[in-house]
Amino acid sequence: MSVAEILLPELVNEMATTRALLERVPEEHASWKPHPKSYSLGALAMHVATIPGLGALILEREEVEMDPDSSPIPPFTTTATLLETFDGVVSQLRGAIEKATAESMQVVWSLKGGGKTFISLPRAAAYRTVCLNHLIHHRGQLSVYLRLLNVPLPSIYGPTADTQAEVQHA
């Protein structure tokens, strides 16, 4: 079984779930924060939308050097742009997965910045931890933000309070 055959079914499922959540981000609340120390809704949504691009970098490079003085996350402008960004990085990640081999997934990948190494893991573990788990974590935060703004939530790992009625009527 190839790396793509192993990883793509999960990728397709998680990205569809993530996109369904991103589709619901209301532009008029982009600057809203649940707490002064929190990301704004727009910044969090863009972070979620760009994380799959990090997955592509993990699979394509042996290390990523972060610039501590700049953010790799573009600012939120519109929900349409958010979705375009997401679709683009998911396509890049899918391409990187399709090229991955069992041998390449064993290569050690590192995240560095300012002369320090923050993470150094075999690529398979880095993909899981830095890409998927990171995405799922922030997607959970985004679902809380949307709930606090009374935005109906899509099914994530089963029905939500907003989709439960749909399930009962199906």
Task: Find all residues with CB under 8 Å of 156, minimum gap 6, and list them.
Answer: 17, 21, 139, 143
Q: Give the containing element (helix H, strand E) for 167.
A: helix 164-169
Compute CA 80 distance to the chain's CA centroid, rounded to the nearest angstrom: 17
| Two tokens, residue 3 | 């790396």
Q: DSSP labels for 110-145?
A: EEEETTEEEEEEEHHHHIIIIIIIHHHHHHHHHHHH
Q: What is the pTM of this model?
A: 0.92
Contact 30, 42 (CB under 8 A): yes
Give CA angle at 99 (86, 136), nearest 5°: 35
What are φ and ψ of residue 152, in 5° steps?
-60, 135
Percent of the chain clearing pLDDT 70 (strictly above): 96
Domains of the chain, by residue range, sit at: 3-169
Q: Rounded to whole angstroms, how far apart are CA atoms 78 and 29?
A: 11
Helix axes 3-22, 134-148, angle to 10 degrees: 20
pLDDT digits (tens, 9 = 90+) for 119-168: 999 999 999 999 999 999 999 999 999 999 999 999 999 898 888 765 55
Q: Identify each DSSP E strand in the chain by its residue range.
A: 63-66, 108-113, 116-122
Q: 28: which DSSP letter?
A: G
* Token digits of residue 31: 């600057």
Per-residue pLDDT tens for 17-69?
999 999 999 999 999 999 999 999 999 999 999 999 999 999 999 999 988 77
Q: What is the CATH number of domain 3-169?
A: 1.20.120.450
